A = this chain, B = another copy of it.
Amino acid sequence: MLILATAKMDTHQSNRTDIQSDLEGASCCTPVSSPLTERELAVDVRALSAIGNDTRYEALRIVAAAENDVCVCELEPALGVTQGAISQALSRLYGAGLVTRRKDGRWRYYSATPRAERLLDVLDETREVDDE
């Protein structure tokens, strides 16, 4: 059965009715459906799209590599974008469940969540850099 594609506000999403079941046969086309629920998909995509950006990925890397937690100002020189951009980046990582944050005086300290750490580990373990 096919779930998903409920009320998304994507105007491009067409609501195609599928006529799959009794479509000819013989060919390769047996329809499949996603093994995850809509909510699980959304959670994962939120996390992945949060890391899938240079600034945020690098920010997360730095946060995860630090032994103690990291404050925003430490990231500014490494990332090469403005303070506002870094704040936005960390907020998004937080909303995606990839960092935790803790307030201490006027500073905000960030650290990576277990989910983030595991993902980064797998990325390290499976990366193949092609020389191109």
Q: Which residues of A contact B (CB under 8 A)?
A: 1-6, 8, 13-16, 18, 20, 23-24, 27-36, 39-41, 43-45, 47-54, 57-58, 61-62, 65-68, 70-71, 73-82, 97, 104-105, 107, 109, 114-115, 118-119, 122-123, 125-130
Q: How far is the CA of A40 from the CA of B120 in the complex (A)?
A: 12
Q: How far is the CA of A68 from the CA of B127 in the complex (A)?
A: 24
Are A44 and B123 in contact, CB atoms less than 8 angstroms apart? yes
Q: How far is the CA of A61 from the CA of B77 in the complex (A)?
A: 38
Subset of 8 A-B contacts with CB under 8 Å: A3-B79, A18-B77, A20-B68, A28-B71, A28-B73, A41-B61, A44-B127, A48-B48
Q: How far is the CB of A36 from chain B (nearest CB, A)?
A: 6
Determine which of B14, B40, B43 lies in contact with A80 in the assembled complex, contact meaning CB atoms within 8 Å: B14
Q: How far is the CA of A28 from the CA of B73 in the complex (A)?
A: 8
Q: What residue in chain B is nearest A50 (Cβ atoms)?
A: B52
